[in-house]
Each structure stands twice: as C-alpha cells, then as structure tokens.
C-alpha cells in the first residue's frame, strides 16, 4: 500500500496503513494520549459511548461512529468538534480509553481488599500469608510511616486511613497497569493526576477547617508572621494553597509520561532506521528503562501519598499534636 502524509500505523477502513519512517516516532508518542476508542491488549474497538453537552442540550451516542453518522459532530485529531464550525462542544463527558483504565484500577483495588477482608473474616486467627500478607504489610507501612507521623492524632489516623490507603493503591495499580503489554497508564494523563490532586486539596483544607475552624484556618494564612505582615503573607499563603496541588499534578503526570515517551522513542528508532543493527541497542536500553519505570511506579506512588499527608499535617499545624497528646493522656 502506498504511503501518504495522512496515513497512520493504525488500521483504517479495515486495511493496514503505513507512514514514512520520519512519522513513526510522532505516531507512537501520540498513542500515549487519550482516545475515544478502547485500546486494550493490542486491539482497538469503537465501543465507548459519547456524552456531550452543547447548546443547552445533552447529546448521547453509542460510539464515535454513530456520532459521525448523525452528522453534528466529528473527530478531529482525536478531539470531538462540531461539524459546522470545527469548535469543541461546551462539555465533553464521553467515556474515553483512560477512563476505562481507571475503572479497571478501581475494580482491581476493590477486588484485592474484598478478597483479603473475606479471607480474614473466615480465619481471623490464622496468620496472613501470600498476597494477603503483602497487602497488610503495605497498609501498616502507610499507617506507621506516612499517615501517623504527619497527622499525629490517632483519631485522625483512624478516620483518614481509608483515604490514604485507597490513594496509595489506586495510584500504584494505575502506574503498574501501564507496564503491562497492550495496556495504558491512566496517571500519564494530566486530567487523572489533576483529579487526584484536587481531591487531595479538598481533603487537606476540609480537614483543617473542620479541626481548627474558619478563624484558625484564616489565622494560619499568616504563616506564623505578625498581623501587620498580612498584606504580604496572606497572598503568598493563598498562592501556596494552589501550588501544592499543582505540584502534585505535574510531578506524577510528568514522571509517568517521561518513561513511556523514552520507551516508545527507543522502540521507534528500529522502525525509523529500518536497520537490524539498531535493534540490539534499542532493545537493551528499553529493558533498562522498563526496569527503571517499575521503580518509578512505586516511588511516585509513595511521593504523591506522603506529600498529601505532609500538606495535611502542615494545614493542621499544632492542633493535630494537641489531639494526640490528649489521646495519649
């Protein structure tokens, strides 16, 4: 089949298309992004529903093919736009490929803990072993090394352990899913990491407001400085409230995307040069990056969780410590 500038490596209209070598790597990198088709296990299926809100009306389509057949909207460079003017709809709530992988991650996490809890209820006196032992070890580590040192209140630790454990395992599972052949990394999407960071923002400030009250929370914006420095300190502290979730968003997104970009770039060199002499170098470096990515998956999970706990502890200040002393006493 002859190649053109608009051809891709994907299957188009039932026929495998080709592109020039110079466009192989950009195409592979484009596959890292989100799609309106379900891409899983090296297959692509147009089965995801399209949900749009535009012009004061909701629009529902079975898939993108049904949407394009209706004629009001079409896909352009992976995004849905209006056919008449090429602009995006007001709101796109369509189920995308990475949304499905988030659902898969939720099912895996819930399934693991349902199985571990069921096994414990059956034999509460039997020592945990295997996967159950691993899960309990990680939960204890999160409690003793991440949550407890930062919240410093046993009451708050008990209340917020489900959130921090869920956060840790959800991010870890999403990270590891992307290392499996034919799968994708949902945390490589800035929308996913932003949603996690926004959740952390509400947990941090919501807990602080509940524990120290609005007056204490506003006083905390002084950062411990005298009142006459409020015109300087308050804007800085308010900016800090938003830079923290922004840092959480970008850190996880950038680290999870970088490794996959390098991996695909190394593999793409084989198709770019079309030489067998390039393959050993590309494969060797890819294996090294793959092993490094495995480490990064665990490391970034830990960093996101521990930073969320640290920011929560900072928002509480000495109040959490006071609760802890009262509990111990």
pLDDT (0 to 100) of residue 23? 65
Residue 136 lies in a domain: yes
Of the pLDDT bands very low, low, confident and very high (cuts 50, 70, 90), residue 14 is very low
Number of domains composing the chain: 2
Q: For residue range 223-243, list pLDDT tens digits in order.
A: 667 777 778 888 888 888 899
**How would DSSP label each residue in 242-269?**
HHHHHHHHHHHHHHHHHHHHHHHHHHHH
Q: Six-digit token pair at 28?
A: 């592979």
pLDDT (0 to 100) of residue 3? 36
- Do both 217 and 76 map to the same domain? no
Residue 133 lies in a domain: yes
Measured between alpha carbons, how far is residue 73 from residues 34, 65, 110, 157 in Å? 18, 10, 37, 49
- Do both 111 and 227 map to the same domain? yes
Domain end: 39, 66, 94, which one? 94
Measured between alpha carbons, how far is residue 154 from residues 2, 151, 317 in Å? 68, 8, 15
Domain end: 35, 61, 94, which one? 94
Of the pLDDT bands very low, low, confident and very high (cuts 50, 70, 90), residue 220 is confident
**Distance, CA of 290 to CA of 275 (rounded, Å):** 22
- Do both 156 and 258 map to the same domain? yes
Of the pLDDT bands very low, low, confident and very high (cuts 50, 70, 90), residue 113 is very high
pLDDT (0 to 100) of residue 43? 87
Residue 5 lies in a domain: no
pLDDT (0 to 100) of residue 175? 96
* pLDDT over threshold 90, residue 6: no
Residue 9 lies in a domain: no
- Do both 311 and 193 map to the same domain? yes
Beta bridge partners of 73: 82
- Do both 84 and 104 map to the same domain? no
**What range defines the domain where residue 305 resides?**
98-328
Least confident of 17-21, 112-116, 129-133, 164-168: 17-21
* pLDDT over threshold 80, residue 186: yes
Domain end: 94, 120, 148, which one? 94
Residue 90 lies in a domain: yes
pTM of the predicted protein model: 0.85
* pLDDT over threshold 60, residue 322: no
- Do both 110 and 136 map to the same domain? yes
- Do both 158 and 69 map to the same domain? no
Residue 284 lies in a domain: yes
Q: DSSP character for 20? A: -
**How would DSSP label each residue in 300-329?**
HHHHHHHHHHHHHHHHHTTHHHHHHHHHH-
**Angle of the 130-141 helix axis to the 154-177 helix axis, nearest 10:** 120
- Do both 175 and 310 map to the same domain? yes
Residue 215 lies in a domain: yes
Of the pLDDT bands very low, low, confident and very high (cuts 50, 70, 90), residue 5 is very low
Q: For residue range 154-179, list pLDDT tens digits in order.
A: 999 999 999 999 999 999 999 999 99
Residues in the chain: 329
């Amino acid at each position: 089949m002859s190649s053109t500038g608009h051809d891709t490596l994907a299957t188009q209209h039932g026929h495998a298309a080709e592109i020039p070598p110079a466009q192989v790597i950009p195409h592979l990198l484009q596959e890292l992004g989100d799609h309106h088709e379900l891409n899983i296990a090296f297959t692509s299926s147009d089965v995801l529903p399209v949900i749009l809100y535009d012009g004061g009306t909701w629009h529902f389509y079975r898939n993108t093919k049904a949407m394009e057949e209706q004629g009001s909207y079409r896909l352009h460079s992976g995004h849905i736009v209006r056919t008449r003017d090429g602009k995006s709809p007001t709101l796109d709530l369509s189920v995308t490929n990475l949304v499905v992988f988030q659902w898969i991650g939720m099912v895996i996490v819930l399934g693991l803990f349902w199985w571990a809890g069921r096994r414990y209820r059956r034999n509460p006196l039997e020592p945990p072993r295997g996967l159950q032992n691993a899960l309990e070890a990680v939960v204890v580590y999160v409690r003793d090394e991440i949550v407890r040192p930062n919240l410093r209140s046993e009451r708050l630790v008990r209340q917020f352990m489900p959130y921090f454990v869920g956060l840790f395992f959800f991010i870890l599972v999403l990270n590891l899913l992307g290392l499996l052949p034919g799968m994708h990394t949902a945390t490589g999407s800035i929308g996913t990491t932003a949603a996690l960071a926004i959740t952390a923002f509400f947990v941090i400030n919501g807990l602080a407001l509940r524990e120290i009250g609005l007056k204490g929370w506003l006083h905390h914006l002084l950062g411990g400085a005298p009142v006459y420095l409020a015109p300087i300190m308050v804007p800085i502290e308010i900016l800090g409230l938003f830079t923290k979730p922004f840092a959480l968003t970008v850190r996880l997104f950038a680290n999870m995307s970088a490794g996959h970009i390098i991996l695909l770039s190394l593999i793409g060199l084989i198709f770019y040069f079309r030489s067998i002499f390039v393959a050993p170098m590309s494969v060797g470096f890819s294996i090294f990056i793959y092993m490094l990515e495995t480490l990064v998956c665990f490391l970034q999970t830990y960093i996101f969780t521990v930073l969320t706990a640290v920011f929560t502890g900072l928002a509480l200040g000495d109040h959490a410590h006071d609760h802890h002393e009262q509990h111990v006493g």
